[in-house]
Structure 1
């Protein structure tokens, strides 16, 4: 599962990295959570950033609020699931990020947050799918979710799933409407451990109210109560 991620790059850095235009302002984000409005690049508008809500409402669930339940989908079966099949075929997106968070469980009450990034510190893209639905006020909302896959050895020490990080050369193909299903499925593998690193961060990440550089700063391991622990 991927339930929090970071995007601490500036607007200029993101435009240069993804060769897409971002209309309006953007402030770096350090603790992105479900239901929030964040930038994506869609198959319908590959040359620009769109702002969608994280938490998809499938075709069969009309007029429902942005969902926290459907924030991820398994990459191995997304093309088969009735709830996601059409989005996989027609509505794919890049979800820009520069890190994601997972919590290591050490007993019933102890959880240590970790931040996973690329070794070079650069921005990357999660593989996502998106949906459009009409809310109770008759307004069109756009939502997305992030695909997950089996973890690499680095992530498996903490969690049994990880988000699909696309290889840079696959990003344009992922949002190309003419890519076929077999090509798309080949892009959804596990990202190499050799190109990633992880480190412990402050329990500040536990609250969605905290969204500052302190959230992604490397710190000594602490549990969710702020107590220092000997475990890393």
Structure 2
């Protein structure tokens, strides 16, 4: 599962990295959570950023509010499940990010937040699919979810799933409407562990109300009693 991520780079960095135009100002985000409105790039508009809500409503669930729990789809079955297969074939997107979070459980009530990034702290993207639906107010809304796969060696120490991360070549194939299904499925694999790193971060990330640079800073691991050292 991927339930939080960050996008703390500037508008200029995003436009340069993804070769797409952003028409609105972008505020750095350090703790993006489901139901929030965030930038994506779709297969229908690969040269510009769109803003979609994280949390998808399947085609058969029209007029329902954005789902808070339906935020990921398993890459292994995304082309088979009735709720996702049409979007997989026709409505793919990439979700720009510079890190994501997972929690390592140490007991029934204790978990430690970890942040995962590329080793050079560069921008990357998740593979996603999106939907369009009519809200209860009659407005057209766009929502997306992130595809997940089995974890690489870096993430597997913390969690049993990880988001599908695409490199630049994979992004082009994922957004290309002519890419064959077999080739699309071949992209949905764990990202190279050699290119990633993970580290503990402040428990501030636990609350969606917190969204500051302090969240993405590396912190000292928690001690045997479950106490955090937030500085140093």
TM range (shorter): over 0.9
1:201 aligns with 2:226: no
Post-superposition shift, 1:221?
2.4
Post-superposition shift, 1:172?
1.1
Post-superposition shift, 1:18?
0.2
Alignment-derived partner of residue 90 in structure 1: 90
Q: Distance in 1 between matches of 2:76 and 2:196?
A: 22
| Residues 135-154 of structure 1 mapped to structure 2, 5 A cutoff | 135-154=135-154
Name structure 1 gaps, 5 residues minimum: none
Farther-moved stretch of structure 1 (106-115 vs 14-23): 106-115
Asked whether the 8 Å contact 1:202–1:222 carries over to 2, the reply is no
Alignment-derived partner of residue 24 in structure 2: 24
Q: Distance in 2 between matches of 1:107 and 1:170?
A: 38
Asked whether the 8 Å contact 1:202–1:221 carries over to 2, the reply is no
Alignment-derived partner of residue 67 in structure 1: 67
Deviations along 1:50-75, one digit per CA (max 9) or x if unpaired, are: 00000000000010001112100000
Alignment-derived partner of residue 14 in structure 1: 14
SS in 2 for 1:145: strand
1:211 aligns with 2:202: no
Post-superposition shift, 1:226?
7.7
Extract structure 1 runs of 4+ deviating beyond 6 A. none
Asked whether the 8 Å contact 1:170–1:187 carries over to 2, the reply is yes
Tell me the TM-score normalised to structure 2 length.
0.96
Alignment-derived partner of residue 4 in structure 2: 4
Post-superposition shift, 1:222?
3.8
Deviations along 1:124-168, one digit per CA (max 9) or x if unpaired, are: 010000000000111000000000000001101000000000122
Post-superposition shift, 1:112?
0.5
Alignment-derived partner of residue 171 in structure 2: 171
Asked whether the 8 Å contact 1:203–1:222 carries over to 2, the reply is no
SS in 1 for 2:143: strand
Q: Distance in 2 between matches of 1:102 and 1:155?
A: 8
Q: Distance in 1 between matches of 2:65 and 2:187?
A: 31
Post-superposition shift, 1:173?
1.1
Q: Distance in 2 between matches of 1:16 and 1:167?
A: 15
Name structure 2 gaps, 5 residues minimum: none
Q: Distance in 1 between matches of 2:17 and 2:28?
A: 15
Farther-moved stretch of structure 1 (131-140 vs 164-173): 164-173
Alignment-derived partner of residue 155 in structure 1: 155
SS in 1 for 2:189: coil
Tell me the TM-score normalised to structure 1 length.
0.96
